[in-house]
Chain A
Amino acid sequence: MSALKSRDTLLFGAILLLLALISTRFPGFAAPSNLASVLTDTSPLIVLALGQMVVILTRCIDLSVAANLALTGMVCAMLNVAMPDLPMPVVILVALVCGACLGAVNGLLVWKLDIPPIVVTLGTMTIFRGIIFLLSDGQWINAHEMSPAFTGLPRTVILGLPILGWIALLMVAVMAVVMSRTPLGRAFYAVGGNPRAAVYTGLDVGRTQFLAFVISGTLAGLTGYLWIARYAVAYVDIAGGFELDVVAACVIGGISIAGGVGTVVGTLLGALFLGVVKNALPVVDISPFWQLAISGAAIIIAVTLNARAGRAKGRVILKSAEVTR
């Protein structure tokens, strides 16, 4: 536990350092309003990373999140074009349900057919993009076709922060409660930490993984609407390759790819770190190469820290060592 907390502090320190460095070149950067916009820009990454975290905790991986986002976004956009007067809560509900169903497809394939998650989601990733093409005929849906209510919602500012940012914070809070205070959250850790022991404890490993995929899908669906509405455009290749950023955010945040280890706070910090690197560095004219290099280095450093934490857990055989601990 203390090792995890210290690595969260380390990551938080790294984010502050990055912000400080940027501030030296662009003094207005650390202003609250600008930080709020960085948070808003990072919100889709945060929400997707929360879902990915749950999936990785159960020893799976979900590569289809970005495709799910794009498909659900397209569905919402087409719905808006067809029925511009549909109330926004209904649109959001449709996004959640659509995302959950797509996640459930992944989950069922992993649970019932026992196919490795990386294969399942690699397949569904392509299929989801294909479905978008079939639905839209490869056409774009542009801003002027969408209703003002549809595109305006994520950008509405409440207390200095757009709704998009508030939704990310709300999801962080919800997931923090789910992970630490519900039997399901506990099951995610147990199934990933030791699947065989989890079976003896009365947990259904496959069902738990299924639910992880449903959560991931639901959050991807929600992000789908928010993304499409914010950028006011929907097309086949939207958020292409974004799933890798999501996985990277989890890894940087200390989620163990081997399963069973990771926290909501770590995920949030991992996403924020990546968000600052991706969204803030261009503002101060740092070359794209450095962005890539910094994110890449962060991933490797994070994985090294994980591996070292794992090694330190060896057995204490010497009596004297036990005392000094």
Chain B
Amino acid sequence: MNIQTDAPVLALDGIIKTFPGVRALDQVNLSLYAGEVTSLVGENGAGKSTVVKILTGIYQPDGGSILLDGKPVVFATSQDAARGGVTAIHQETVLFDELSVAENIFIGHAPRGMFGLIDHAEMRRKAGEILGGIGAAIDPGVKLKDLGIASRHLVAIARALSVEARVVIMDEPTAALSQKEIEELYALVATLKEQGKAILFISHKFDEIFRISDRYTVFRDGQFVGAGRIDEISEGELVQMMVGRAVDQIFPKRAAVIGEEVLKVVGYSHPTEFEDISFTLRRGEILGFYGLVGAGRSELMQSLIGITRPAKGVSRIEGKITVIRSPADAIDAGIVYVPEDRGRQGAIIDMPIFQNVTLPSLSRTSRRGFIRLAEEFALAREYTERLDLRAASLDTPVGSLSGGNQQKVVIAKWLATKPRVIILDEPTKGIDIGSKAAVHDFMSELASQGLSVIMVSSEIPEILGMSDRVIVMREGRIAAELEGADMTPETLVRHAAGIGVSGAAA
């Protein structure tokens, strides 16, 4: 059925994109063909989202060219890209609850009638046409808030297609969908192929890559690794291309004396987020948690510190059964969590640095209900100095600090509670390479001082470089627990994506 053409509709040729300190894309190539699905494969940080942003006109490349039908084009704005026929269906498209389906589809480019007013009849007719084209039985007149999640997703797709698309980018479209919705999406992809559209498909799930793609392109660390037809490659070879690098970063992992068991979790289960999670954590150990985005790692950590409670399961701290109902209980029990979104969940930016640092430790710096300012300052100074925080004065609001220094304030805050277990959720996400090394060094130091560290990370080099042991999670369950020589990039990816292990927990 495929319309075979030799010339790609859209091609990237030698695209370079640099950000301060990072070369995000280094001369990458990518070709998209009419009526074919091309999967872009790569680890987190391989440069996939940067490519999407270049294709949709959000970023400008620093070198190389974009070729549309063989002719070089410049997508200076996202409107330019839309006019060139490139459209993207994002993971989370912003839709408007109180507007109708047709209005949602055509917002910003609604058909105009007399006096430049919106031609509602025409808009509805066109919306119905687009929805019919993707096989969606949705009335264009109903309000979006009355639709279910799956229908909303179809509206988002219809919105993307409302601009005469020739190239459709799908960035992890199945991440938030149920199995039935995923099947419907596959059918939609087939329809779009028949209409001759070129599709760029981005996914971490190998089963769907092999199921719907015609071609693949692999990136690794911002570089083009290879491309070809999907029926000419095996899963194993693809994984090899994705991760097959010499680990060129040097991780400052020090040998720590791993002592007695500190935390034991048995049978933690949550009705919707994770099931049957059991593991142990020992003194001085760094335990890595690896998995794809949405595997339930952060949700598990949040239940460990009492933000959500598990329906079943027991945790023991130093052998004693401990019930943690709230973050305050967790802090008392010596478990602290440094969240991933440190901007929103970490610092209180209008508060002075010292107050941020001492906030969870105020009971220690108070006597008879009154805070002792001298003790409070001493505590804040001790921990900010340990983290080498550079600030004019501890009186200044956290908001005046740089991002890296704000992060140090958040970590200082948790260390000041003198925890037994520290959970770091994506500790180096979004920070530059220099700061990453500092965070890794610091983590190592904590472990060697006898703290137990749980590190949630989606970056394979970090997981392999820092962890003593790794737990791989997939779809809310523990897929594997790996140690020593078993800890290789291939095994991690295989267990996380569920290749060749068919759900059997190791």
Chain A positions within 8 Å of B, measured between CB atoms, are 1, 177, 181-183, 186, 189-190, 193-194, 196-204, 260-261, 313, 315-316
Chain B interface (Cβ < 8 Å from any Cβ of A): 305, 307, 326-328, 330-331, 337, 339, 344-352, 355, 359-360, 362-363, 366, 369-371, 373, 395-397, 399-400, 402-403, 413
Q: B351 contacts which chain A residues (CB < 8 A)?
A: 189-190, 193, 260
- B348 A260 Cβ-Cβ under 8 A: yes
Q: A1-B352, A181-B370 are in contact. List 17 more A-B contacts (CB 8 A).
A: A177-B370, A182-B369, A183-B363, A183-B366, A183-B369, A190-B348, A193-B350, A194-B344, A196-B345, A197-B344, A197-B347, A200-B305, A200-B327, A200-B339, A201-B413, A204-B326, A261-B350
Tell me which residues across on chain B come within 8 A of A201, comparing CB atoms: 327, 331, 359-360, 413
Given contacts A182-B369, A182-B371, A200-B327, contact A1 B359 (CB under 8 A): no
Inter-chain CA distance A201–B337, complex, in Å, is: 9
Q: Do A194 and B362 touch (CB < 8 A)?
A: no
Cβ of A190 to closest chain B Cβ, rounded Å:
5
CB-CB < 8 A to B396: which residues of A?
Answer: 1
Cβ of A197 and Cβ of B346 under 8 Å apart? yes
Contacts of B349 in A (CB 8 A): 193-194, 313
Known: A193-B351, A261-B350, A315-B402. A200 touches B369 (CB 8 A): no
B185 to chain A, nearest CB (A): 32
The answer to whether B327 touches A186 (Cβ under 8 A) is no
With A181-B371, A183-B366 as given contacts, are A199 and B360 in contact (CB-CB < 8 Å)? no
Residues of A within 8 A of B307 (CB): 199-200
| 8 tightest A-B CB contacts, nearest first | A202-B328, A193-B348, A183-B362, A194-B348, A202-B327, A202-B331, A201-B360, A313-B399
14 contacts between A and B (CB under 8 A): A1-B395, A1-B397, A181-B373, A182-B370, A183-B363, A183-B366, A183-B371, A193-B348, A194-B345, A199-B327, A202-B326, A202-B327, A202-B330, A260-B351
In the complex, A200→B347 CA distance in Å?
10
Please indicate the chain A residues that have their CB under 8 angstroms from the CB of B355 in the complex.
186, 189
Q: How far is the CA of A261 from the CA of B355 in the complex (A)?
A: 14
CB pair B337 A200 closer than 8 Å = yes
A30 to B350, CA, bound (A): 37
> Do the beta carbons of B399 and A194 come within 8 Å of each other?
no
A193-B350, A194-B349, A204-B326 given; A316·B344 CB < 8 A: no
Asked if residues B347 and A194 are in contact (CB atoms below 8 Å), the reply is yes
Smallest Cβ distance from A264 to chain B, in angstroms? 15
Give the complex CA separation of A261 and B348 in angstroms.
Answer: 11
Q: Which residues of B contact A196 (CB under 8 A)?
A: 344-345
Min CB–CB distance A176 → chain B (angstroms): 13
Are B369 and A189 in contact (CB-based, < 8 A)? no
Does the CB pair B327–A260 fall under 8 Å? no
A198 CA to B331 CA, complexed, in Å: 13
In the complex, A28→B326 CA distance in Å?
A: 60
Chain B contacts for A1, CB-based, 8 A: 352, 395-397
| B339, B348, B371, B402: the one within 8 Å of A198 (CB) | B348
Q: How far is the CA of A185 from the CA of B200 in the complex (A)?
A: 54
Indicate the member of A190, A261, A313 with the most B CB atoms within 10 Å. A190
Q: Which among A177, A182, A197, A204 is the interface contact of B348 at CB below 8 angstroms? A: A197
Q: How far, in angstroms, from A190 to B349 measured CA to CA in the complex?
A: 9
Residues of the B chain whose Cβ atoms lie less than 8 Å from the Cβ of A183: 362-363, 366, 369, 371
CB-CB under 8 A from B346, the residues of chain A are 197, 200
Contact A197 B345, CB 8 Å, known A181-B371, A183-B366, A186-B371: yes
Shortest distance in angstroms between A278's beta carbon and chain B's nearest beta carbon?
30
Residues of B within 8 Å of A177, CB to CB, are 370
**Residue contact A186 to B362, C-beta cutoff 8 Å:** yes
Q: How far is the CA of A1 from the CA of B328 in the complex (A)?
A: 29
A259 to chain B, nearest CB (A): 9
> What is the distance, in angstroms, from A216's C-beta to the closest C-beta of chain B?
20
> Which residues of B are found within 8 Å of A204, using beta-carbon distances?
326, 328
A201 vs B351: C-alpha distance in the bound complex, in angstroms? 14
Report how far A218 CA is from B322 CA in the complex, Å.
38
Closest to B306 in A: A202
A311 to chain B, nearest CB (A): 12
A186 to B345, CA, bound (A): 17
Write the nearest CB–CB distance from A1 to chain B, whole angstroms: 6
Are B369 and A202 within 8 A (Cβ)? no
A177 to B373, CA, bound (A): 12
The smallest beta-carbon distance between A193 and chain B, in angstroms, is 4
Give the distance in Å from the alpha carbon of A198 to the alpha carbon of B350 in the complex: 13
Complex contacts, B348 vs chain A, CB 8 Å: 189-190, 193-194, 197-198, 260
Interface centre among B305, B327, B402, by most chain A C-beta atoms within 10 angstroms, is B327
B345 touches A260 (CB 8 A): no
Chain B residues in 8 Å Cβ range of A186? 355, 359, 362, 371
Tell whether, in the assembled complex, residue B402 and residue A316 are in contact, meaning their CB atoms are under 8 Å apart. Answer: yes
Nearest Cβ on chain B to A182's Cβ, whole angstroms: 6
Please give, as numbers and ranges, the residues of chain A lying within 8 Å of B373 by CB-CB distance: 181
B363 CB contacts on chain A under 8 angstroms: 183
- B400 interface neighbour in A189, A193, A194, A313, Cβ under 8 Å: A313
CA distance A186 to B352 in the complex (A): 11
Interface centre among A1, A194, A204 (most CB of B within 10 A): A194
Which residues in B have their C-beta under 8 angstroms from that of A316?
402
- List the A residue with the shortest CB-CB distance to B360: A201
Q: Are B345 and A200 in contact (CB under 8 A)?
A: yes
- Kindly state the separation between the CA atoms of A38 and B436 in the bound complex, as whole angstroms: 60
Complex: chain A residue closest to B359, CB-CB: A201
CB closest chain-B residue, reference A198: B348
**How far does the alpha carbon of A196 sit from the alpha carbon of B344 in the complex, in Å?**
7
B130 to chain A, nearest CB (A): 38
Q: How far is the CA of A186 from the CA of B339 in the complex (A)?
A: 21
Q: How far is the CA of A260 from the CA of B351 in the complex (A)?
A: 8
Q: How far is the CA of A268 from the CA of B402 in the complex (A)?
A: 34
Chain A neighbourhood of B370, CB < 8 A? 177, 181-182
CA distance in complex: A261, B400 (Å): 15
CB-CB < 8 A to A315: which residues of B?
A: 402-403
State the CA gap A260–B366 with chains docked (Å): 22
Across the interface, B360 reaches (CB within 8 A) one of A181, A189, A202, namely A202
Which residues of chain B have C-beta atoms less than 8 A from A200's C-beta? 305, 307, 327, 337, 339, 345-346
Q: How many whole Å from A205's CB to the nearest CB in chain B? A: 11
Taking CB atoms, residues of chain B closer than 8 Å to A194 are 344-345, 347-349
Chain A residue nearest to B328 in the complex (CB): A202
CA distance A201 to B344 in the complex (A): 13
Q: Inside 8 A of B350's CB, which chain A residues have their CB?
A: 189, 193, 260-261
A7 to chain B, nearest CB (A): 14
